[in-house]
Amino acid sequence: MAIQSVGVIGAGQMGNGIAHVFAQAGYDVLMTDISQEALDKAVALIGTNMDRQVSREKITEDEKKAAMARIKTTMKLGDLGQTDLVIEAATERETVKQAIFEDLLPHLKPETILTSNTSSISITRLASRTDRPEKFMGFHFMNPVPIMQLVELIRGIATDEPTYNALHEVVEKLGKTSASAEDFPAFIVNRILMPMINEAVYTLYEGVGNVKSIDQSMKLGANWPMGPLELADFIGLDTCLAIMNVLHDGLADTKYRPCPLLTKYVEAGWLGRKTGRGFYDYRRDVPVPTR
């Protein structure tokens, strides 16, 4: 399974980061989104991020130009059908992902490998809605993709060994490290991380500490580079809530019940950095706690 071309579905935070690292590793990348504006913004952001790498002497100017030349965009999902590997990085909603794969299937080459960058949804269930469950895997990158070294590889019940081996080799070519996870809700990283964030929100909800004291306690007392509420804002509170709901529904254990305060923030549209407000207000020069 020689993989040379890669299709990336979604030009958001994860999609543009995935396109960045694949192009830099020498793969031809075709990125799609439902908005041309989103695609243009993604390419511009990739260019800015690569400029930063050049300034830090991580890559050369020539390497940056070659990588940018390998990135193409399209608004036609079917155009991705001729790529060797497809990585879906759309919204973390199962119905959306299923609809994307359903629309893509008629255009695929028989040998194309399908993957999802989902952070929590069942790979077996997603794969079962396609015509190639044996060539379907979870390919979960961490955010921000160009910086974070880990990629979770998640096999569905039907995933075959050649597919797993092919993706394992891809991760190595990207210069990253893979961790194999079983197909259980939220896999490894988010199975551990999200309940910790959710507990921090409960600590705020119950008045044990305010936003500043909770984040300061974990940064200075547990040596975290970011506090849990600051991290939740960075990830997106809607994503945090979606993963907690997957854990709660999938494992039927009350310890995964999303904190009502997390739900309230999402209902208010206070989703963190991307909307300007979350546990912090980012509309000024210095973020200010909202509680």
Residue 33 is labelled as binding a ligand:
yes
Q: Please state the pTM of the whole predicted model.
A: 0.90
CATH number, domain with residue 34: 3.40.50.720
Q: Is 217 a catalytic residue?
A: no
Q: What CA–CA distance (Å, rounded) separates 256 from 78?
A: 38
pLDDT band at 232; cut points 50, 70, 90 = very high
Residues in the chain: 291
- One domain for residues 89 and 166: yes
pLDDT tens digits for 20-55? 999 999 999 999 999 999 999 999 999 999 999 999
∠ CA(114), CA(119), CA(147), 5° rounding?
Answer: 95
Q: Select which of 140, 178, 198, 230 is catalytic.
A: 140
Is residue 20 located within the same domain as residue 113? yes
Residues 173 and 201 occupy one common structural domain: no
Which helix (DSSP H) or strand (DSSP E) does residue 210 occupy? none
Domain interval for residue 70: 5-182
The enclosing H or E element of 73 equals: strand 71-74
Residue 88 annotated in ligand binding: no
The pLDDT of residue 2 is above 90? no
CATH number of the domain encompassing residue 244? 1.10.1040.10
How many structural domains are present in the chain? 2
| Mean of all residue pLDDT scores within the chain | 96
In percent, the amount of the chain with pLDDT more than 90 equals 97
pLDDT tens-digit series, residues 141-156: 999 999 999 999 999 9
Query: Could you say which of 152, 178, 198, 230 is catalytic?
Result: 152
How much is the pLDDT for 215? 98
- Active-site residue among 16, 49, 119, 178? 119
